[in-house]
Chain A
Amino acid sequence: MDKKGRVGLGIIGLLLGILWLFPFYLILTNSFKTPKGIFASVLSFPHPSTGDNYVNSFRALNFIGSLTNSLIITVCSVLLIILCSSMAAYALQRNHSKLSGGILMLFISAMLIPFQSVMIPLTANFGAVHFLNMWGLVIMYLGFDASLSVFLYQGTLASIPIAMDESAEIEGASRWQIFTKVIFPMLSPITVTVAILNIIAIWNDYLLPSLVLPQAQYTIPLQMFNFFGEYTKQWHLALAGITLSIIPVILFYLFAQKWIIKGVTDGAVK
């Protein structure tokens, strides 16, 4: 492309980039304003600026507590999903029978079922055995998210020759050893994909945890929802709360961007 065209594209890109970032700019600048400051001008730079909004919303959000809950739930769910779905995919892929084909179809068909079709009986059942808490939630995430993960793992397993299993078997390795020592390490690229997709989905989930978790175990989205209800129209606090709650996500994105883009692509394309 000629130089003129490249400059033109650069300008279009710059304008679009500004348009895309503008919401973040508005949230950030207004979160440092007093209520009067927001009322006087939404578009201006904060003047005078204040950090009080952050102190207050940090406390009202119980930020450390909800951040911890979000971390525990996300990490435990993702680890469990990786372990169980890779094992299940391994069993299904190395067994060439009608039965395993049928079970795989079952996993795939589960992806078509919307959450609303299961939500009431699901919470009633888990409530009946006193499992409406973060550990019950972790099991639910395994059930909901295993389908896609099994599907992704089984596609990759198909490209790992069965000779790998057989040579380990001849050397006397048990099935569990073959899986953990030989197969699972070879799956690590797709494990990253499975982890990324599930981290994003679970961290941001609202409806399911809102039906399952007691208040002491609230995650960041649940706490934000409550917080917003309490401070309706107190935008100075709400905006500081919003900014606080997206900081972990943005940091994770900037740090793991390469893997995130790859993971999201694999998850959609495969």
Chain B
Amino acid sequence: MKNKSLSFWLFLTPTLVALALVVFIPVLEGLFYSFTNWDGLTFTKVVGFQNYITLFQDKAFINAFWFTVGFVIVTVIMLNVIGLGLALLVTQKFKGNNFLRTVFFMPNMIGGLILGFIWQFIFTQGFQALGNALHMDWLQNWLTNETTGFWGLVIVTVWQMSGYIMIIYIAYLQNIPNEIIEAAKIDGASAWQRFTKITFPMIAPAFTVCMFLTLSNGFKIYDQNLSLTNGGPYNSTQMLAMDIVNTAYNSGNFALSEAKAIIFFIIVAAISLLQVAYNRKREEDL
């Protein structure tokens, strides 16, 4: 199809128009509004970098930033370790391995909002009952402070996403030719050697994919945060996405919320691109 041909543009237009209306025009507007005193409807003046200065002094935003960074570090490690572990488990030959795949992936089908509600019950009622029965104090009063709120969010995310990460690792594990493993066995390599010297390097591309997914998902989490802790107690478990939404719709500070959203965009985009570039290079080195 040629650039000038009518059909080229007819085929492309619906999607391009939607993309422009829904993503590109709003993001440019938002960028502009972040330099004004916009109230969601109109603005009276351009304020330069004032909103950006304010946001770096905004305790809620800074708290949300560090809380989110901690959450992302912990979940990226746990999801990749557990996801790979589950993948290695269910790709072994034993009775019920396919059924287990089904089970591990199932939470991923349920939306974050409902998952948060499910676990709110388990943390507040189930853990409490278990703690009483086993006389374990650490199981009690979950979600009433920052620490248990943090680990609550981590547990929900790990329960939800491990199966997803597992599926991706399985796809790469199945691509490893069986002959290589068999040959290594004949040469007398131990299970650990086969894993570190063969399996691990061969699934390096899976790390790139899984790191990317877990990193960017971790930063963008909102639904689970809303339904599990709603940021509480006292906004101590509020993550970046939620702080941005609340700055707009609870505090009515639309211009500041836009400035936060632009910084959020830069953080997410930079980390995603850096991470992919780094892992590509590492893959080439292997």
Residues on A lying within 8 angstroms of B by beta carbon are 1, 6-7, 9-10, 12-14, 16-17, 20-21, 23-24, 26-27, 30, 38, 41-43, 84-85, 87-88, 90-92, 94-95, 97, 99-100, 103, 106-107, 110, 112-122, 124-125, 139-140, 142-144, 146-147, 150, 175-176, 179, 200, 203-207, 221, 224-225, 228, 235, 238-239, 242, 245-246, 249-250, 252-254, 257, 260-261, 264-265, 268-269
**CB proximity of A103 to chain B, nearest CB, Å:** 7
B1 touches A175 (CB 8 A): yes
Closest to A143 in B: B22
A23-B159, A84-B18, A143-B19 provided; 4 other pairs, C-beta below 8 A?
A113-B23, A116-B260, A146-B19, A268-B164
A143 touches B103 (CB 8 A): no
* Among B119-127, B141-149, B194-202, the stretch in contact with A: B119-127
Q: List 5 tightest A-B contacts by C-beta distance, closest first.
A: A143-B22, A204-B111, A91-B11, A118-B26, A88-B15
Of B21, B41, B109, B262, the residue contacting A117 (CB under 8 A) is B262
B3 touches A99 (CB 8 A): yes
Interface of A, secondary structure class, is helix
**CB proximity of A176 to chain B, nearest CB, Å:** 7
Interface residues on B, range: 35 or more
A113 in contact with B265 given A17-B100, A42-B128 (CB within 8 Å): yes
Q: CB-CB < 8 A to B241: which residues of A? A: 114, 116
A38 in contact with B171 given A9-B94, A88-B15 (CB within 8 Å): no
A125 touches B264 (CB 8 A): no
Closest to A204 in B: B111
**CB proximity of B149 to chain A, nearest CB, Å:** 18
* Among B52-60, B66-74, B218-226, B278-286, the stretch in contact with A: B218-226
What CA separation (Å) do A99 and B9 show in the bound complex? 12
**Between-chain CB contacts (< 8 Å), 13 pairs:** A6-B93, A13-B100, A17-B104, A23-B118, A30-B121, A85-B15, A95-B2, A95-B3, A139-B18, A142-B22, A146-B18, A203-B111, A249-B110
